[in-house]
Amino acid sequence: MSQVAEDINFAHQRRWSNRPMSLASRLWLLLSSPSLQLILLSRIIHWSYLKRQQGGLHKWLGRLTLIPIAPLKVVIEINTKSFICNDCEMEGGVCFSDQGNIIFGALKNGAGTVIGPRVTVGIAHQGRPVIGRNVWIGSDCVIYGPISIGDGATLLPGTVLTKSIPAGIVMQGNPARMVLRNFDNSKLREHQDVDAIQYLKTMGEV
Amino acid sequence: MFENIRADAMRVHRSSKSHYLVNILRSLWMNQGFRALLIYRFGYWLSNVRKHRFGWVIVAPLYPIYWVLSVLVRNAYGINLDQSANIAAGFYINHFGGIEVRNCCIGPHCNIQQQVKLGVSETTDNRLVIGEGVYIGGHAQIRANVTIGDGATIGAGAVVTEDIPPKCLVLGNPSRITQRDYDNRSFL
Number of Cβ atoms within 10 Å of the Cβ of B62: 14
Does this complex have an ipTM over 0.85? Answer: yes
Report chain A residues touching chain B, CB-CB < 8 A. 78, 81-83, 100-101, 103, 118, 120, 123-125, 140, 142, 144, 160, 173-175
Please report the pLDDT score of residue B186 as a whole number: 87
Half-sphere exposure of B70 (CA within 13 A, CB side): 17
- DSSP secondary structure string, A133-193? TT-EE-TT-EE-SS-EE-TT-EE-TT-EE-S-B-TT-EEETTTTEEEESS---HHHHH-TT
Strands B176-180 and B168-171 come out as antiparallel
A200: confidence class by pLDDT, cuts 50, 70, 90: confident
Residue A29 lies in a domain: yes
Query: Which candidate from B97, B156, B159 shows the least CB-CB separation from A101?
Result: B97
The domain that holds A76 is classified in CATH as 2.160.10.10
For residue A172, the chain B residues in CB contact (below 8 A) are: none
CB-based contact (8 Å) between B92 and chain A?
Answer: no
Q: Quick check: is B142 in a domain?
A: yes
**For residue B69, is it within any domain?**
yes
Sign for the pseudo-dihedral over CA of B67, B90, B128, B118: positive
Within its chain, how far is the Cα of B141 from the centroid?
A: 14
Burial class of residue A177 (count of CB atoms within 10 Å of its CB; 0-12, 13-18, 19+): exposed
What pLDDT is attached to residue B117?
94
pLDDT at A124 over 80: yes
Residue from A41, B147, B4 nearest B160 by CA: B147
Share the mean pLDDT of chain A: 91
Q: Which residues span the domain enclosing A154?
A: 2-199
Long-range contacts, B122-129 (Cβ 8 Å, 24+): B123/B84, B127/B103, B128/B103, B128/B104, B129/B104, B129/B105
Q: What is the pLDDT of residue A8?
A: 93
CA–CA distances in Å: residue A138 to residues A153, A171, A196, B171? 11, 10, 8, 20
Residues A82-94 pLDDT 10s: 999 999 999 989 9
Per-residue pLDDT of A25-83, as tens digits, reads: 999 999 999 999 999 999 999 999 999 999 889 999 999 999 999 999 999 999 999 99
Q: What are the two backbone dihedrals, phi and then psi, of residue A28, each rounded to the nearest 5 degrees?
A: -60, -40
Let me know if residue A85 belongs to a domain. yes
- Give the domain range for residue B8: 2-180
B185 falls within a domain: no
Total domain count for chain B?
A: 1
pLDDT of residue B125: 81
Number of domains into which chain A is organized: 1
* B166 belongs to a structural domain: yes
Segment A198-202 shows an average pLDDT of 86
The answer to whether A177 and A162 have CB atoms below 8 angstroms apart is no
What pLDDT, on a 0 to 100 scale, did the predictor assign at position B110? 93
What pLDDT score was predicted for residue B6? Answer: 87
Residues in B closer than 8 angstroms to A118, CB to CB, are: 97-98, 115, 139
Distance, in Å, from the CA atom of B74 to the CA atom of B68, rounded to the nearest integer, reads 10
CA B154 to chain centre: 14
B125 in Cβ contact with B141 (< 8 Å): no
- Closest residue to B173, CB basis, from A81, A118, A174: A174
pLDDT tens profile A145-181: 999 999 999 999 999 999 999 999 999 998 899 998 9
CB contact under 8 A, B97 and A81: yes
Q: B22 in a domain, yes or no?
A: yes
Average pLDDT over every residue of A171-195:
89
Q: B137: domain CATH number?
A: 2.160.10.10
Nearest C-alpha neighbor of B132 from the set B147, B117, B113: B147
**pLDDT of res. B26:** 87
| Interface membership of B54 toward A (CB under 8 Å) | no
> Is the CB of residue B78 less than 8 Å from the CB of residue B71?
no
Quote the radius of gyration of chain B (alpha carbons, Å): 17
What strand order describes the sheet that includes A120-121? Answer: A83-84, A103-104, A120-121, A142-143, A160-161
In a domain, B146, yes or no: yes
Report d(CA A25, CA A5) in Å as an integer.
13
* Residue A205 counted as domain residue: no
Distance CA A128, CA B158 (A): 19
Strands A130-131, A148-149: pairing is parallel
Among all residues of chain B, which has the CA nearest to that of A125? Answer: B187
Confidence category of residue A206, pLDDT binned at 50, 70, 90: low
Q: In the predicted model, is pLDDT for residue A1 greater than 80?
A: no
**Residues listed for chain B:** 188
Does residue B187 form part of some domain? no
d(CA A22, CA B176) in angstroms, rounded, equals 53
Output the CA torsion sign for A143, B37, B184, B168: negative
Mean pLDDT by 10 residues, chain B (188 residues): 87 79 87 93 94 92 95 93 92 92 93 93 87 94 93 93 94 91 88
Helix axes A34-53, A57-80, angle to 10 degrees: 160
